[in-house]
Amino acid sequence: MTEQQDAYPSMTISTDQSSENIAPIKLGERLKEIRRTLGLTLEEASQKTGLARSTLSKIENEQISPTFQAMQKLTNGLDINIPQLFAAPKKVNTTGRRDITRNELGKSHPTSTYEHELLATQLSNKKMMPFKSLVRARSFDDYSDWIRHDGEEFLLVLKGEITFFSEYYEPVNLSEGDSVYYDANMGHMLASVSEDDALILWVTAS
Amino acid sequence: MTEQQDAYPSMTISTDQSSENIAPIKLGERLKEIRRTLGLTLEEASQKTGLARSTLSKIENEQISPTFQAMQKLTNGLDINIPQLFAAPKKVNTTGRRDITRNELGKSHPTSTYEHELLATQLSNKKMMPFKSLVRARSFDDYSDWIRHDGEEFLLVLKGEITFFSEYYEPVNLSEGDSVYYDANMGHMLASVSEDDALILWVTAS
DNA sequence: CGTTAAAGTTTCCTTTAGGAAACTTAATTC
DNA sequence: GAATTAAGTTTCCTAAAGGAAACTTTAACG
């Protein structure tokens, strides 16, 4: 498993803008945008939310900071949820992003028990992290402790056979084509059954 | 590809509780819970957030409805994000969920261009949807229009060779072991290159 | 253009949130 | 178990939010 992709005339095309969003949320701006999108006047929005026309105007122009109570009326009345209101001030437009990784050309991270190959390295801010990994471990004892982290994991055996150990269940053997989906907060670890390393694909999301 | 897993002495164990959360958000309660979890006294929280001890107390006891401004101080000071504050009043504890799908024993959904096999059908409310699919289509013409939907997709070729068509890029051929990660809002479609159906694994998240 | 109607803003007043300090309750120490 | 301290609540004041109505701006029409 090589560790460089630069050597390959890369097929990767990606438009990607990272940059965290720490900017103070322009609540008013965002609200006006939403109202406009819904095709509502202040008067109509007022009726739907139960907030005065004047109050809405002031909120939209950042003249006042609405109370939580007011915000609930807003979100209920306009049928939007709160995260939606704040979380996406600047819509991080990801449309059109794409990243191709050729076989054996991911970014390699070898450890004693695994050799992880991170796929789709060109894109940041993505919902999932896909890996292809060689499972080197032969038994439970190769680990010092359970692997445990936030999020969920999906795993599919590409080649070989592995034993999937987990905190709350009995170990199971998985052959080529078998898969598991599990919560990664539950302690877990893998071992190859045969003498050869096993190859797996796994994807995490949190 | 069979469509029943019941026939197989299933390895699937899953603890799963759905139930939407529409209940009026107990902001104060939740806040107190968070503060306690962080091991902070009102005084300490006051220093971190810049809000008066008394104000915090009133908020926690639902005596006042904090302004958005106050809420920002709260979330910044305690280093929590706003969605987290509201969105997860009752922590949906998913720890310990697991679902094993044996090769060729997923839930099958045949169409003219694909035969989708949904994996990990036992668990609901999961962040990812894993599929194994036979790509039946032989050309672009087998489709009437782009496939386009919310979320992101990761795709890996298990067997055969496919052409990956997408709205903003030139078509690319992907062989066994190759993968793509892309935004599913970008129009996309697949065709098998050879006479045989190709086999792919793909995972969506939104 | 001037008139009218609708959408949006500002003013003014009432209600409520936010802060400082007094007070109460719960824990700790002698 | 009284004295001391720390954590939390309530009071009282002031600063800011919310609503009704007056005012200004924009759009539509003759």
- Report chain A residues whose CB lies below 8 A from the CB of B203: 128, 130, 154, 203
CATH number at residue A163: 2.60.120.10
Q: Determine how many CB atoms are found less than 10 A away from the CB of residue B45.
A: 22
Task: Identify whether B14 is part of a domain.
Answer: no
Residues A38 and A117 occupy one common structural domain: no
Shared domain check, B181 and B114? yes
Q: What is the mean pLDDT of residues A117-138?
A: 76
Final residue before a domain boundary, out of A44, A59, A87: A87
- Domain-embedded: residue B94: no
**Nearest partner of B182 among B154, B202, B201, B156, judged by Cα:** B154
Is residue A4 situated within a structural domain?
no
| Nucleic strand D within 7 A of Cβ B95 | no
Chain B residues inside the 8 Å CB shell of A128: 128, 152, 154, 181, 203, 205
Establish if B22 belongs to a structural domain.
Answer: no
R_g over Cα of chain B:
24
CA separation for the pair A151, B128 (Å, rounded) = 10
Give me the CATH number covering residue A76: 1.10.260.40
- Asked if residue A153 is part of any domain, the answer here is yes
Q: How many domains does chain A have?
A: 2
Distance (Å) from the C-alpha of residue B96 to the closest C-alpha of chain A? 5
Q: How confident is the model at residue B23 (pLDDT cuts 50, 70, 90)?
A: very low
**B191 and B118, same structural domain?**
yes
User: Same domain, yes or no, for B184 and B136?
Assistant: yes
Domain identity same for B127 and B40: no
Residues A180 and A111 in one domain: yes
Residue A77 and residue A120 in one domain: no
Using the predicted structure, report yes or no on whether residue A165 has a pLDDT greater than 70.
yes
In Å, the largest CA–CA distance within chain B is: 74
Nearest Cβ partner for A183 among B65, B97, B102: B97
- In this structure, are strands A169-174 and A198-205 parallel, antiparallel, or unpaired? unpaired
Shortest CA–C1' contact from A56: which nucleotide?
A: D18
pLDDT tens column, B41-96: 888 888 888 888 889 999 888 888 899 888 888 887 877 766 556 544 333 344 55
B156 beta partners: B179, B201
For residue B119, give the nearest of A102, A175, A181 by CB distance. Answer: A181
B43 touches strand C (CB under 7 A): no
Instruction: Please write the tens of the pLDDT for every residue from A79-89.
Output: 676 655 654 43
Q: Find the range with the poorest average confidence among A105-109, A177-181, A194-198, B41-45.
A: A105-109
Quote the pLDDT of residue B114. Answer: 76
Strands across the sheet with A179-183, in order?
A107-110, A114-118, A128-135, A198-205, A152-159, A179-183, B98-101
Is B97 within a domain? Answer: no
**What is the side-by-side order of every strand in the sheet holding A188-192?**
A169-174, A162-166, A188-192
Comparison of pLDDT for B24 and A162, the residue scoring more: A162
Q: Which nucleotides in chain D lie closer than 7 A to a protein CB?
A: 6-11, 16-22
- Assess whether A68 and A145 both reside in one domain: no
The verdict on B118 and B34 lying in the same domain is no
Domain co-membership, A111 together with A188: yes
CA of A52 to C1' of D19 (A): 6
Same domain, B83 and B132: no
Q: Could you tell me the two tokens for B98? A: 């697991």
Domain interval for residue A161: 107-205
Dist CA A98 CA B168 (whole Å): 9
Q: How far is A61 from chain B (nearest CA, A)?
A: 14
Q: Do A62 and A123 share a structural domain?
A: no
Give the lowest-confidence range in A15-24, A48-57, B54-63. Answer: A15-24
Residues B131-182: tens digit of each pLDDT: 888 888 676 666 666 777 777 889 999 999 888 888 777 788 888 888 888 8
Q: Do A181 and B120 touch (CB under 8 A)?
A: yes
